Chain A
Amino acid sequence: SAVISQKPSRDICQRGTSLTIQCQVDSQVTMMFWYRQQPGQSLTLIATANQGSEATYESGFVIDKFPISRPNLTFSTLTVSNMSPEDSSIYLCSVPGGPGGYNEQFFGPGTRLTVL
């Protein structure tokens, strides 16, 4: 399975500021996914980031709030813009792949964001 790292691991931010989260994978992958996990909740897909094209956002998420970059096949960033306390969540990136086939998906350790 892919080894995925995220930076920062956690951060505490002030309302109205922005935070960029980095996701690094140890192998080249076409698709990367960004999820949000609100406190005590399940995971919700924010967007799919394909290298060389615009990210595809899920219903309820917009590019102005969560701009994504995908400069190469091993790296992506997610920015949480103009933050409010409601953005306090764990943000996770994931990539597909593995011996079981394309459907398998592996997650990074997450970035725990607290907005004051």
Chain B
Amino acid sequence: QQQVKQSPQSLIVQKGGISIINCAYENTAFDYFPWYQQFPGKGPALLIAIRPDVSEKKEGRFTISFNKSAKQFSLHIMDSQPGDSATYFCAASNGETSGSRLTFGEGTQLTVNP
């Protein structure tokens, strides 16, 4: 059962542009929403995460926007760089009922052209 839907499947952005990846979830019990970055041949690396008590979190060029009523959250990469080219996964979990079990979105392959 897919509980986290991610779009787009692939994204091409020019250097310096803004990359936007969207996710929607179904389970209202989710209380933790991380984004992972994965380079080929590597395991996913935690990029940034948000909890539903805030609507936005920013770390450097990466920002998560969270809309609790719409059950949606998105990742914005400002000033995108070729080094940001990777696959990005959103995820969600409920720490109270499932520990740290993560449900992942389908992934977005981001290409940033120089």
Contacts and interface: CB of A to CB of B under 8 A. Distances in A.
Interface string A86-116: 0000001010101011111111111010000
Contact of A96 (B31, B44, B99): B99
A108 B41 CA distance: 11
Contacts of B36: 107
Contacts of A42: 89, 104-107
Interface of B: 31-32, 34, 36, 41-46, 49, 89, 93, 95, 99-107
18 contacts: A4-B43, A31-B100, A41-B106, A42-B89, A43-B104, A44-B104, A45-B103, A92-B43, A103-B93, A104-B100, A105-B34, A105-B46, A107-B36, A107-B44, A107-B45, A109-B42, A110-B41, A112-B41
